[in-house]
Amino acid sequence: MSHNNILTVGLAQFAPVWLNKNATLQKAAETIREAAQNKCELVVFGEGFVPGYPHWLANTSASEWNSPVQKELHAHYARNAVQIESGDLDDICSLAKSLNIAVYLGIIERAADRGGHSLYCSLVYIDQSGTIQSVHRKLQPTYDERMTWSPGDGHGLRVHQLKSFTVGGLNCWENWMPLPRAALYGMGENLHVAVWPGSVHNTKDITRFIARESRSFVISVSSLMRKQDFPDDTPNLTEILKKAPDVLANGGSCIAGPDGSWIIEPVADKEGLITGTIDFNRIYEERQNFDPSGHYSRPDVTRLTINRERQSTIDIED
């Protein structure tokens, strides 16, 4: 059996140091080191892990117009968002290179190429040489997320070679969108990464569904968030905690095989690194009877067009 066919992966099911970019990046670095010590070749973090999911939206009046509470929280979020162009991920990239480990990291991105003020829920892939190979901005923020995140574009709809595997990823409810999934399938994806803010109710069904639909391995990774995970220096903390449940996100990280069977069932209410090993040959076995972009496709009847241009309001010609 080829060494390239076996991949050890780490699912980083942790709570962020909520809305603290530097401290959460440090926590991510510690987890990457732990993953490398456990012989992982890929480690995945949840949606928006740095600096955290906007849990205040569901627990305050997020849509209240001109609200001082919402403005203060949004500004705090923006100050702690990641700006890749300013080098915020340089240390993580250097660490990935030194440990020869690939990383999928969920971030809240304050994108310089869109003016540097609006926020995007982005999934960053860093390869084993420490190079950022893609930054996928969530195409459609969900429900109250639209009060703080901007819609992304197709630039980050890309796949990457990792040993024998072709890996791609989507953020949270993007995984319910048939066409972005089909785009990744068409690029040859056979290891799908789905990142979530947390909770078994998100991962228990769709992880297996995508695996069966695509005949691929699917890794779902979620964060944790409990009342005690809100830092004392959070703006308007008392207002947030009035309606917040004791557990806002209970994890649910898991791995499904290409036939939809569990390799690791959803893990709830447990913080830590979850590791698993997958065998590429299982993909060939399950593609024998169904391959959504190969022998079981009809491109003469239906075909998908993908726009991967990074969107901007300006086109500068010097």
**Is residue 92 included in any domain, yes or no?**
yes
> Does any domain span residue 300?
no
Q: Which of 40, 93, 172, 254 is catalytic?
A: 172
Would residue 51 count as lying in a domain?
yes
Domain limits for position 185:
7-287
**Do the domain assignments include residue 292?**
no
Using DSSP's 3-state secondary structure scheme, residue 260 falls into: coil
Average pLDDT over residues 218-236: 96
CB contact at 8 A, 242 and 230? no
* pLDDT tens per residue across span 240-297: 999 999 999 999 999 999 999 999 999 999 999 999 999 999 999 999 999 999 999 9
CATH label of the domain that carries residue 63: 3.60.110.10
Whether residue 138 lies in the annotated active site? yes
- Cβ(169)–Cβ(156) below 8 Å: no
Average pLDDT, stretch 201-229? 97
- Report if residue 305 sits inside a domain: no
Q: Is residue 312 part of a domain?
A: no
172 belongs to the catalytic site:
yes
254 is catalytic: no
In a domain, 208, yes or no: yes
Supply the pTM of this predicted model: 0.97
Q: Is the CB of residue 274 less than 8 Å from the CB of residue 264?
A: yes
Per the structure, the count of domains in the chain is 1
Give the active site residue among 40, 41, 109, 138: 138
Is residue 1's pLDDT more than 90? no
Give the pLDDT band of residue 2 (cuts 50, 70, 90): confident
Distance of CA 192 to the CA centre of its chain: 11
Q: What is the pLDDT of residues 138-192, one digit of tens each?
A: 999 999 999 999 999 999 999 999 999 999 999 999 999 999 999 999 999 999 9
Mean pLDDT of the chain: 97
Concatenated DSSP letters of 77-129: HHHTSB-GGGTTTHHHHHHHHHHT-EEEEEEEEE-GGGTS-SEEEEEEEE-TT
Q: Of residues 21, 27, 41, 47, which has the active-site annotation?
A: 47
